[in-house]
Structure 1
Amino acid sequence: MPSTRRAAALKDSAHRIRMHALDMGETQGQGYIGQALGVADILAVVYQDVLNHRADEPDWPQRDRFLLSIGHYAIALYAALAEAGVLDVGELATYGSDDSRLPMSGMASYTPGMEISGGSLGHGLGVATGMALGLRHQGSDAHVYNLLSDGELDEGSTWEAALACAHHGLDNVTAIVDVNALQADGPTEGVLRTEPVTAKWEAFGWHAVRVDGNDIEALLAAFDSLREHRGSPAVLVCDTRIGCGVPMLEAREKAHFMRVEEHEWQLAREQLTERHRTTARKEGTVR
């Protein structure tokens, strides 16, 4: 099991990622805040514990690649890149502004550390497949991680890529599926039922693990086990909660694209801080 100290440090990191996302959201007054809060734990573990990368050299050839298929989650990735030292925290204040390197949907040509331009859902895993094939051809040990949404499981191109990954035995690919059960047109189950998600990936030839995506210890244990897996691509199915860490936003009905009132941003920060402190006190990790 992961050490208590290791998990505590990552919980602190996830807290800062959430706080950065709230600060960025306030500059626009709205946005994909719920998703950013939901995947903060995943991104903290990936960037602080999993990826082999260099913060001061984002294009380092030997780096592991992290592909954000869900372009509108860029707000979350910018926060994680700032936490990892790839971006300066001060630059986050330019989020979504004219001439900013941090557009509201991820653009590889603008942002250091952004590997692909996302947004047209269903393309990320196909890009990951080609990238992994190329890296294997070059003899590289680099690994490709692709964060995609449960809504992207509606797309046929995702499953074509899944077949190709398995066919070629690309064990240098790990897909991470954010299952928050919500997409633009409503609850995922009502748009197009994708469960049982894990069994589907296994039927396509993938090694599949499912965890609570807001449980740092569970994420650490899952990634530790996946490091040892060989012979086929792997997928980590992560059940997350929209708005995780901010009770007011967790309970919001219209949560895919949130509009947050001016007075609510500080309240959200206070709730986030109180939740983090309360959890740390219960676990005996208050610093």
Structure 2
Amino acid sequence: MLKNDTVQTIREKALWMRRRAFKMVHDAQLGHPGGDFSAIDIIATLYFGVMQYDPTRPDLESRDRFIMSKGHATGALYTALCAAGYYPEDWLATYMQPNSKLNGHPNRNYLPGVETNTGPLGHGMPVALGIAIAAQISGQTHRTFVLTGDGELQEGSNWEAAMTAGHRKLENLTLIVDRNRLQQGMGTEDTNGLDPLDEKFEAFGWDTVMIDGHDIGALLDILAAPRIGKDRPLCVIANTIKGKGVSFMENKASWHHGVPNAQQYETALEELV
């Protein structure tokens, strides 16, 4: 498929994911739509333009692995897995309902395509590190991608993992930071400043790229590029907008876990076209 066609396919998937995720949050009156919307373009690019996987064989050994470390953004993850064919769309209507497989945080015991349970922030990166080390030792060529929130990088476990990944030259490991600069309650730089984030990862032995996290063409170029022979892990700092695509949500910390009323829901659907 030509790149322009792939970009258009990803855009269509991302739009469907935003609309469907917002409906899930509206119906459940629970969720984290701001972080869903900042991450959806990244996740759609991975699933529909970059990663190798087979939804009919979720445990295929040669599959690429995706770890959703910011596990609270389940609207983004669940809609991606659904669109990729891991389970039918009617499952989405059960989001956060009693006995649903679609919990507030992803659980690999319930859902195909979920590589590991996440939710406690700072855990996804160390798990991804372990998967990448195992592949390196066994000579496997699959890649491991992990998406973290930026506020999550205030957890020290991420930096222990970053140091080890650089030391082991894990070219099969790619970290994407959803850099929307907002966390629960306030801005990341007001809480515990992260800048200069690129220089921190470079100091740990990583290749580092800063891009617009909503530019699907740029995401595709960076994430799909071969890493064999690079001898360094890759950190993609994706500058994003919390609540991207909905005017009353964009760059608002209150939408970290805000839920829409009926009028807000209708307004959002009018804008998400």
TM range (shorter): over 0.9
> CA separation in 1, counterparts of 2:107 and 2:5?
35
Seen in structure 2, the aligned counterparts of structure 1 residues 207 and 131 have a Cα distance that, compared at 3 Å, is same
> CA separation in 2, counterparts of 1:162 and 1:133?
12
Matched, 1:120 2:120: yes
Would the aligned equivalents of 1:178 and 1:239 in 2 still touch at CA under 8 Å?
yes
Matched, 1:272 2:253: no
Unpaired segments ≥5 residues, structure 1: 274-287
Q: Which amino acid aligns with 1:163?
A: M
- Name whichever of 259-268 and 196-205 sits farther off: 259-268
Shift of 1:138: 2.2
Seen in structure 2, the aligned counterparts of structure 1 residues 252 and 165 have a Cα distance that, compared at 3 Å, is closer
Which digits, 9 at most, give the CA deviation of each residue in 1:125-176, with x for residues without a partner? 1111111111222221111111111112111110000000111111111011
Would the aligned equivalents of 2:31 and 2:73 in 1 still touch at CA under 8 Å?
no
> CA separation in 2, counterparts of 1:35 and 1:140?
33
Would the aligned equivalents of 1:211 and 1:222 in 2 still touch at CA under 8 Å?
no
Unpaired segments ≥5 residues, structure 2: none
Alignment match, 2:152: 152
Alignment match, 2:216: 216
Shift of 1:252: 4.3
Alignment match, 2:84: 84
Shift of 1:8: 1.4
Q: Which amino acid aligns with 2:172?
A: N
Alignment match, 1:102: 102
Tell me the SS of whatever aligns to 2:72. helix
Would the aligned equivalents of 1:78 and 1:87 in 2 still touch at CA under 8 Å?
no
Shift of 1:87: 2.0
- Name whichever of 249-258 and 4-13 sits farther off: 249-258
Q: CA RMSD in A?
A: 1.5
Alignment match, 1:11: 11
Tell me the SS of whatever aligns to 2:262. coil
The count of residues paired between Structure 1 and Structure 2 equals: 272
Q: Which amino acid aligns with 2:55?
A: A
Which digits, 9 at most, give the CA deviation of each residue in 1:21-74, with x for residues without a partner? 112112212420111111111111100111110011111111111011111012
Alignment match, 1:203: 203
Shift of 1:228: 5.8
Tell me the SS of whatever aligns to 1:249. coil
> CA separation in 2, counterparts of 1:140 and 1:100?
35
Would the aligned equivalents of 1:226 and 1:234 in 2 still touch at CA under 8 Å?
no
> CA separation in 1, counterparts of 2:269 and 2:80?
17
Seen in structure 2, the aligned counterparts of structure 1 residues 262 and 30 have a Cα distance that, compared at 3 Å, is farther
Q: Which amino acid aligns with 1:259?
A: V
Which digits, 9 at most, give the CA deviation of each residue in 1:219-271, with x for residues without a partner? 11222445466201111110111111111222645121113112321221111
Moved over 3 A (4+): 224-229
Would the aligned equivalents of 1:29 and 1:262 in 2 still touch at CA under 8 Å?
no
Q: Which amino acid aligns with 1:113?
A: G
Seen in structure 2, the aligned counterparts of structure 1 residues 252 and 30 have a Cα distance that, compared at 3 Å, is farther
Q: Which amino acid aligns with 1:191?
A: T
For residues 172-187 of structure 1, what are the structure 2 equivalents within 5 Å?
Answer: 172-187=172-187
> CA separation in 1, counterparts of 2:210 and 2:160?
21
Q: Which amino acid aligns with 1:260?
A: P
Which digits, 9 at most, give the CA deviation of each residue in 1:163-191, with x for residues without a partner? 00111111111011101111114110100
Alignment match, 2:136: 136
